[in-house]
């Protein structure tokens, strides 16, 4: 064995360890969700389900397919899934759109105090969310926005906009100004140039901002715990822990719900990732 082989083997081992580290919990959730409650509780623990059951999944979505439903859990679950999608989706679209426009203004438009405004928005990144939770709650109660989609999405926007703006600003700064100037001389206005020239070139950045926002909003727990008290807006992150009651922790159900909750972010990443084409900028100059 040469040193090169050794290095290859070492790298492969590291990759495998990393894979186990990150995918282990996912496997564990999937395996548990497919086990009978007795197998879950068995000692020593079962690493592989001794027998497969779909009873937990049936509890969550069986009602949809006309199965008898004793608990009513499926209604709560689907409602929460819908809420999660609306909240995360709404926050993603709004945040990305605002960041796209605001960061462009911060980079390309000359106006007094533009850097001040930008840095003030980005500085809010440094404020820990929990420190503003209570004052924010009083404000939202005052406005009657607690337990509304709009109110919660607004909070998500304020939480994720700074990061997206920061990202988009560096994306715009990396685009050669001369491309936009060429468009002006070709007879295009600011808006047309932005929509037809700048946005397509900034697409990878927009996608990255959208992914980050969606993942962040999808996993949000503290904000909906406070601001989404009822089934009207309660998302999965708040509902799933409620499956653990004082007397009984339904591991199977929790993990089955967890597996469902993994699907949308996984789809978003897989789908949007395809647009993260690298080398889109190649060929402008030289």
Partner 1 sequence: MTQVQIAQLRKSYGHHEALHGIDIAMESGEFVVLVGPSGCGKSTLLRMIAGLEDVTSGAIAFDGRVMNLVPAKKRDIAMVFQNYALYPHLTVRENMGFSLKLRKVPLPERNARVEAAAESLGLGHLLDRFPRQLSGGQRQRVAMGRAVVREPALFLFDEPLSNLDAKLRVQMRTEIKQMHRKVKATMIYVTHDQVEAMTMGDRIVVMRDGIVEQAGPPIELYDRPANEFVAGFLGSPSMNMLDAVLSADGASAVLGDGSHVALPGHVEGGAGRALRLGLRPEDLLPSETGIPFEIDVIEPTGAETIVMLRNPAILGEGSLCLLLRERLPLAPGQELRIAPKPGAAHLFDPGSGTRIDPVLRSEPLRAAAR
Residues forming the site for partner 1 (CB under 8 A): 176, 178-179, 181-189, 192, 197, 200-201, 279-286
Least spacing, CB of residue 284 vs partner 1, in Å: 5
197 vs 19, 108, 167, 182, 190, CA distance in Å?
40, 14, 19, 10, 10
Q: Which residues are paired to 249 by β-bridges? A: 244
Least spacing, CB of residue 185 vs partner 1, in Å: 5
Residue 200 vs 229, nearer CB to partner 1: 200
284 vs 60, 168, 279, CA distance in Å?
52, 20, 11
DSSP secondary structure, 193-255, as one string: HIIIIIHHHHHHHHHHHHHHHHHHHHT--HHHHHH--STTT--HHHHGGGGB-SS-B-HHHHH
Residue 144 vs 189, nearer CB to partner 1: 189
Least spacing, CB of residue 251 vs partner 1, in Å: 50
Residue 142 vs 283, nearer CB to partner 1: 283
Sequence-ordered strand ranges (E) for the chain: none
Least spacing, CB of residue 179 vs partner 1, in Å: 5
Residue 136 vs 188, nearer CB to partner 1: 188
Least spacing, CB of residue 161 vs partner 1, in Å: 26
Residue 79 vs 190, nearer CB to partner 1: 190
> Residue 198 gets which letter from DSSP?
I
């Amino acid at each position: 064995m040469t040193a090169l082989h050794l290095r290859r083997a070492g790298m492969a081992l590291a990759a495998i360890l990393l894979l186990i580290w990150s995918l282990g919990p996912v496997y564990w959730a999937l395996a548990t969700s497919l086990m009978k409650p007795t197998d879950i509780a068995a000692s020593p623990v079962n690493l592989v389900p001794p027998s497969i059951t779909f009873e937990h999944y049936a509890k969550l979505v069986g009602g949809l397919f006309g199965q008898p439903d004793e608990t009513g859990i499926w209604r709560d679950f689907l409602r929460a899934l819908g809420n999660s999608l609306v909240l995360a989706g709404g926050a993603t679209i709004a945040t990305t759109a605002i960041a796209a426009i605001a960061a462009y203004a911060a980079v390309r438009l000359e106006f007094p105090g533009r850097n001040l405004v930008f840095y003030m928005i980005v500085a809010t990144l440094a404020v820990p969310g929990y420190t503003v939770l209570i004052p924010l709650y009083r404000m939202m109660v005052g406005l009657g926005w607690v337990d509304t989609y709009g109110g919660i999405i607004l909070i998500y926007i304020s939480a994720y906009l700074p990061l997206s703006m920061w990202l988009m600003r560096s994306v715009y700064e990396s685009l050669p100004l001369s491309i936009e100037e060429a468009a002006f001389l070709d007879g295009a206005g600011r808006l047309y140039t932005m929509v037809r020239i700048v946005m397509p070139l900034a697409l990878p950045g927009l996608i990255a901002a959208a992914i980050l926002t969606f993942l962040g909003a999808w996993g949000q727990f503290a904000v909906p715990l406070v601001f989404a008290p009822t089934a009207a807006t309660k998302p999965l992150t708040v509902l799933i822990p409620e499956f653990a009651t004082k007397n009984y922790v339904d591991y199977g159900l929790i993990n089955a719900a967890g597996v469902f909750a993994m699907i949308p972010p996984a789809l978003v990443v897989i789908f949007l990732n395809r647009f993260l084409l690298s080398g889109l900028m190649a060929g402008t100059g030289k």
